Structure formats: C-alpha cells, structure tokens
Amino acid sequence: MVWVFGLWPREVQLSGSAVYMKEASYTELCQRDDVQWIDVRSPGEFAESAIPGSVNIPLFDDEERALVGTVYKQESPELARELGLDLYGGKLRDIVALTRKACDGRVAAVYCWRGGMRSKAVTTVLELMGVPTVRLTGGYRAYREFVTKELAALGEGYLPPVVVLHGMTGVGKTMLLQRLDREGLPVVDLEAMARHRGSVFGGIGLTPANQRQFDSALWQRLQGLKGAPYLLVEAESKRIGRVTMPDGLYQAKLGGRNFELTASLAIRVERTLMQYRLDDADAFADEIRRAVDRIEKRFSPDLRRRAYAYVEQREYRALFGILLDEYYDPRYRHAMSQYQREFEQIDGEDLDRAAHVLMGRLGELYGRLGVAICR
C-alpha cells in the first residue's frame, strides 16, 4: 500500500519546443492539497468515472470525440489531429477561463484517458497562458490501475479492526450508520458508495454505481480514515448492486466484531417505506412490481398470490410486511446461523438512542479517541 507520497513533479521538455511543462504520477499528486483535478475527457467519459474531486472541462464533447476517434481509426492519426485542432481551436479561451475559475489559485492537475494528446494540448495552452499546471502521467487509466492495485492489497496489516452492523431487512442499519457518521465515527458506508441498498428493492430511486465509481469512493474514504482504531460497516454481501467488495475488506468483515440491530416488524415496515418511497406513485408502483418479479420464483404459491394481490392494490405496508416476515427474515436467520462469533444486540426501536448506546460501547472497546477521528 502506498500511503505516503514523495516528490513534486519533474519538468519535462516537449520535443521540438522550448516550452517546459510539469508532469507527475498519481502517487506524486494524490495527497497534495494545492492541486485541482481537471478532467479534459468528454462529458460521457467523465460521467462513467473520474478522479474524485475533478472538474470536467472537456476538450471535445461526446460527438466530437467519437468523430475524431473514427477518423483516427479509419483514416489516419494525422487527419485526426488536424480535425481535433479544428474542433478545439475555438474553445481554448473558454478552457483557460474555466480552468482558472475552477482552480482558484491552485495548480491545475490535468488528465485525459491515457495522458495523451488531449491532456498534452490543454496543458501546453494553460502553461503558455501562465496557469500553474501539471499533467497526470498515464491519465485516468493510470489512476484506475493504482486504485485497483491498492484495493487488491487490502487485508491484514492494512486495515484496522472491522466492526460489523447486522440486522434484519428494514431495521434501519443505514440510518444508524448515517447518524454515527455525523458524530464523526469511522463509518464506511458501502451502500452509499454502491448507490444501492442491497436488497432486490435496493435500486429504487437510485442510479447504481459502476465498479470504477465504487472503487474510487471506497479508496478515497479509506484514505480519509488512516489511523482510525476501527472501521464501522454494514453487514453486506460481497456483491452490492452492480459492484463487488474487495476481497480483503470482505474477509476483514467476516472476521470482525458483530453488533445486531433489532426492531419490531411494524417499525421495519415503516422504515422500509421511508427509504424506498418515490414521489411519483406510478413510477414507484412499476419499480415495486419489477422487484417482486425478480424474486417471485422463490416464493411459495400462497406468498406469490398474496404478494401480487398487494402489488395490484398498491398496499405497500401489507406487501412489505409479508415479504419481510416470510421471505427476508428466514433468509437472514439462515445467514446468521453460519457465523461462529457472538453478536451483541442493540435495541433499534429508537435510532437516536441506539446510536448513543453503540457509541458508548465502541468507546469502551476502542477508546474515546475513536470518536471524531476523521473530522
């Protein structure tokens, strides 16, 4: 794991030019507090994944990028470069102005996909206009390789003890973690990073993250928790929505200290409705039906009949009540029976009180200095 980074960027002379520009690897830049990441890729690339904290100031829009790429592949690199010059020549003034505004006195750390022509072009212009600039060697791809390698190395010796919050579906685990996060505890909210709540209903109202987005968010959070005496996570499966948890973190979770949040079925139904309800009633009904469709093969005939009746009637309290009681709870109890370690229960009927109790218990176990460690 690379936690401490070294030198300020080296200067590299451009071939055939007297212009000097700075270039640096991600490991040389990622912990500096005087750089602003500038992503010059297209808006579509930026939306797919980006270095956290980046501002998108694209050299080409999505259509222009596709056009240049087509010319590059089907005709020649020379014609593609000429087309690129025609497309971005008129944008340079705006790019400089937007970069100055985004950086506000900080160094512009510019990157494209591979540290190629786009970032070189923008960096050269910014340097000529007197904007302090450094280009990321290898571009976003190098950053992605770095994060992937770092997460693959997670495990014993790199992670503090992991505290795992268990509980039946709808009990309010995420709500409790959010309260503890606001109190400054070292919470790693995996569902928030995955933008998915874990169950078949977990994507309702959300746009699930892809693996690149999840990995970036996780690595950044772990960086912010260096020195924490423990990490507090929710009991998730290895796969959350569209993403997969790193092996090292998953294994650390399996061997962690376990707390179980409890609450009555009525409370759990209300919390489930609170989390999943959409303002658009028709859209919510469609999402609920699609979710039930994905799991109905595992229902008994009687549960299937009642579930679809409640879906048609839009009786969501009744629907969630039978799904929690007859589908999710038995699965949870079976999963819990696989654990060898003891579970310490926390009454979750009142989540504010539950937060207070759990904070006190964690203080006893790990010391009061564990509170507000990352603020």
Between the two ends of the chain, the Cα-to-Cα distance in Å is: 23
Rounded to whole angstroms, the Cα distance separating 285 from 278 reads: 9
**How does DSSP assign 84-150, residue by residue?**
HHHHHGGGHHHHHHHHHHHHTTSEEEEE-SSS-HHHHHHHHHHHHTT--EEEETTHHHHHHHHHHHH
**Among 30, 103, 112, 374, which one carries the catalytic annotation?**
112
Whether 30 is catalytic is no
Phi, psi of 54 (to 5 degrees): -75, 155
- Amino acid occupying residue 333: R
Q: How far apart are CA 203 and CA 279, in angstroms?
A: 15
Q: Which amino acid is at 135?
A: R
List b or e across 95-127, with b for residues whose CB sees 16 or more CB atoms inside 10 angstroms: bbebbeebbeeebbbbbbbebebbbbbbbbbbb
Ranges of beta strands (E only) in the chain are 10-13, 20-24, 35-39, 55-56, 107-111, 133-136, 162-167, 231-234, 239-240, 243-244, 257-262, 343-347
Q: Residue 325 has what DSSP assignment?
A: I
* Number of residues in the chain: 375
As a whole number of angstroms, the distance between CA 151 and CA 375 comes to 23
Helix (H, G, I), strand (E, B) or coil at 234: strand
Structure tokens at 199: 């169950």
Residues with a catalytic annotation lie at: 112
